[in-house]
Amino acid sequence: MRDIWSFLLQTLTASGVAVLLLAVKALFRDKLSPRWQFAAWGVLALVLLLPAGWSGRYTLLNWPFYVEWLRSAFTGEYGALARVTAPVPLPVLKMPAVVGEWLFFLYTVGVLFFLLRYIVSYLRLRLALKKGQVVDEERIRGVAEAYGLPVCPAVKVPGLSTAFICGVFRPVLALPAEREADEKVLLHELLHLKHKDALWGWLIALFRCLHWCNPLLWLCADQAGNDLEALCDQRVLERLEGEERREYGFILLEMAQEKYARMPGTSSIANGGKNIRRRIEAIARFKRYPGGMALASVCVLLVLAVPLAVGARASFPNRGLAGSAAADLAYARTAFCATYAGAFDAYAKAVLTKRLDYRAMCAPLSEQNALAGYYSTAPLWSWEEMGLKGHTIDWWEGYQIYNLTQVEENVYEGVLALTLGQSPKGEEWSGLFHERWRALQPLRAEREGERWVVTPQGEFATVQGDTRSGGDLNLPSWEYAAAAGEFTLRLRWQSACWVESRGEANWMGISSYDTTPVPDGIFTGSFQQMMVADYAGPAENRGRYQSMGVVYHPMKTGEPRPDLKPLAFPSSDEAEWSGGNNQGDSYAQKNLDYEWEDEIFLSGGGSSWEERLDLPAAYAADLYLNGERAASLTLLPMEGGDGLGG
């Protein structure tokens, strides 16, 4: 925790869990044994030890949203996000300048004050015990041997009202100097020693220090300490029989009026009159819980612990634009994009719907204040501001990200393609579907902490599409080439991807399109490749070539060129054929018994894919002329054919 907002996120998250635990414990007060009543606090301890809001996850309520809403409403700051990197305050090496920084400074001082107070009190207690009279009582060893318990050094100290264990690593049993401690009291304290309950006292004290200004968590700390004593009572009663249990209750009753003080690193049988009365009531209804209750208790705790500790991701509600800028943009910042595909999806849908809050989901934090300024004027993003003035976008057609590629670790680039409803001003359109006009914009997605953000790499440009090949011939593509004699083999490679947002088709075959962003989405898409041969020789040499064939295979970076399987020619006089196999090989054969042009189309096709498709680094290709292999080539990327319109 480095600021007051991260502390607020941590303590509010823990408070929500605390309220739920108190309700569940009250509901199951007579159903769960003291052992499991105390174990239930482990759920709260787990939540307190885990950084709240980790990876955009929240517990019970969307606490990150409420914290960001408060921050924006009180400070006017949108370009930040509360992050709990550690469940303890981390040092900030600068003087406070604003109210929030002063509040965090005071909180940190409070933590140090309470922590120092506990440490000093403990050290003073240890010093007082050192001055006590060391005893070597047969009664203590007798109780330990009778019940199979460990022993530790014991001292008698004047003024003590009851016995207690002090210390974790070098524990000491402190006894009152004025009277003999009952054997059942000794049994109680030796059980504390065996189970190292003083360590729990320190952990509870630590949580008190970290959340000293949260009275609800102090209440839970008191309850946890009381449950620890009730658990020790249960362990004592399990070792006593009949009248001995009644006598143990009378011993507790005698302590009901005694003063007590909770001290970290200690465990004492006395914990105040009100709490002792509850413990005596528990003794009156003591029962040995059947073995099956342990399994049921474990199930109850797991049902509580797993969702509370793991939490759920913040999701963006498609609830319209009725909220304030602080509320809507707080939702957007906390429902941030957890995947690069989700970031591209949020940006594209922000353009389709003109919603600035969608843009805020994937915008860098440095741009959030500017977005808030636009939002306070009009919560819709104008196409003019996007560079699309005068254009109409068919939002129900969705979007595609063309030629997605990873340019470095945690950085991806691609071209956003949107379908226009009409041709740009001054341009013509025949009305054919495959010639639809498209608006293109290069984008970059990269990580910003836990978020994925998108920044445009240029303005929108309009291009008339040509989708007859399955891809779009007029959109940017990657190109690879290699020359062999009078021919140059050239392969065009293009991919298109999107986060699936279409519903089931209705009876007319029309499917709806959901424009709500999917911040943790993954890409689905397809790729297309087209192999052509360019002829550069003299016209009189064309007659030398009766057929042409090719076998080609994509290569990864650093991969040696593979040996390709020979092209198998059919026995028939089939003019041309092409295909591929599940090893990634593609092949084609074409008879040149016609007046062929300088560009010879050999093969084309594609395939669907999910998540991410790696761009080939090169292609291995074998060229066949007149049924004989003429060359083994490596097709390398062409300069300028970068797939991003460069």
**Nearest CA-CA partner of 161 in 284, 272, 320, 19:** 272
Q: Which helix (H) or strand (E) holds 277?
A: helix 273-284
| Amino acid 646: pLDDT | 46
Distances (CA, A) of 298 to 152, 304, 446: 33, 10, 42
Say how far apart CA 342 and CA 317 lie, in whole Å: 15
Residues composing the chain: 646
For the chain, the 3-state helix, strand and coil shares in percent, each to the nearest 5, are 40, 25, 35
| Amino acid 618: pLDDT | 94
Cβ atoms 222, 272 nearer than 8 A: no
Instruction: Extract the runs of DSSP E, i.e. beta strands, from 39-170.
Output: 57-58, 133-135, 154-157, 164-166
Cβ atoms 334, 357 nearer than 8 A: no
Say how far apart CA 258 and CA 270 lie, in whole Å: 8
230-261 tens-digit pLDDT: 888 888 888 888 788 788 777 777 765 555 55
Burial state string for 401-415 with b = 16 or more CB within 10 A and e = fewer than 16: bbbbbeeeeeebbbb
Q: Which helix (H) or strand (E) holds 187?
A: helix 183-194
Which tokens go with 293?
């209750």
Q: Which helix (H) or strand (E) holds 635?
A: strand 628-642
Secondary structure (3-state) at 367 = helix
Which tokens go with 509?
């075959």
Q: Are strands 547-555 and 57-58 parallel, antiparallel or unpaired?
A: unpaired
Residue 173 main-chain phi, psi, to 5 deg: -95, 110
Which tokens go with 251?
């011993």
Is residue 346 predicted with pLDDT exceeding 80? yes
Average pLDDT over residues 323-352: 87
60-102 tens-digit pLDDT: 788 888 888 888 888 888 888 888 888 888 888 788 888 888 9
Residue ranges covered by each domain of the chain: 4-307, 478-642
Neighbours of 542 (CB within 10 A): 14
Average pLDDT over residues 515-521: 90
Average pLDDT over residues 535-557: 91
Instruction: Give the N- to C-terminal CA distance of the chain in Å, as an integer.
Output: 45
Cβ atoms 420, 395 nearer than 8 A: no
Q: What letter would DSSP give residue 314?
A: -
634-643 tens-digit pLDDT: 999 987 555 5
Q: Which helix (H) or strand (E) holds 106?
A: helix 99-130
Cβ atoms 59, 52 nearer than 8 A: yes
Say which residue the tokens 């002063």 belong to.
102
Q: Which helix (H) or strand (E) holds 440?
A: strand 437-448
Q: What is the pTM assigned to this prediction?
A: 0.78
Q: Which helix (H) or strand (E) holds 416?
A: strand 411-419
**Nearest CA-CA partner of 443 in 323, 508, 552, 347:** 347
Secondary structure (3-state) at 423 = coil
Average pLDDT over residues 162-169: 87
365-419 tens-digit pLDDT: 999 998 888 887 777 777 777 777 767 788 888 899 999 988 899 999 999 999 8
- Provide the sign of the torsion angle of the four alpha carbons 252, 258, 261, 267, taken in this order: negative
CA 207 to chain centre: 25
Say how far apart CA 398 and CA 498 lie, in whole Å: 9
Cβ atoms 192, 267 nearer than 8 A: yes
Q: What is the residue-averaged pLDDT of the chain?
A: 83
Average pLDDT over residues 570-581: 67
